[in-house]
Amino acid sequence: MKDFRKRKVWEKAHQFTLQVYLITRNFPFDERFGLTIQLRRAAASIPTNIAEGCGRDSDRELARFMSIAAGSASEAEYQLLFACDLNYIQDETHRELNQEVNEVKRILNPASSGTKS
């Protein structure tokens, strides 16, 4: 087992999640069971899956949970875009959070630094 707290990617994902929780406090009240909870769950799923993978017995299982974390990061990335398009967050906030979540994705999956359609 590995200590997830010692992983740079976990720390970045944890900080990203904390920021998502802060910004979603300002989302409209009627979004509390919609976009607010979806974005929070996607963000929290990133460091959660990293931690779970570190608690597994094999590198193969760790890789699987890192892949799941990367999927959650992509989900959060879209939801941030959606929140920006709905004017729930400002463009600058979106740019900053988007940059952070993409850094997490790059660390989780360095082999796919190129883009495919």
Per domain, the residue ranges of the chain are 7-109
Domain 7-109 -> CATH class: mainly alpha
The pTM of the full predicted model, rounded to 2 decimals, is: 0.91
Contacts of 47 (CB under 8 A, 6+ apart): 4, 10, 13, 14, 17, 69
pLDDT digits (tens, 9 = 90+) for 5-63: 999 999 999 999 999 999 999 999 999 999 999 999 999 999 999 999 999 999 999 99
Amino acid at 82: F
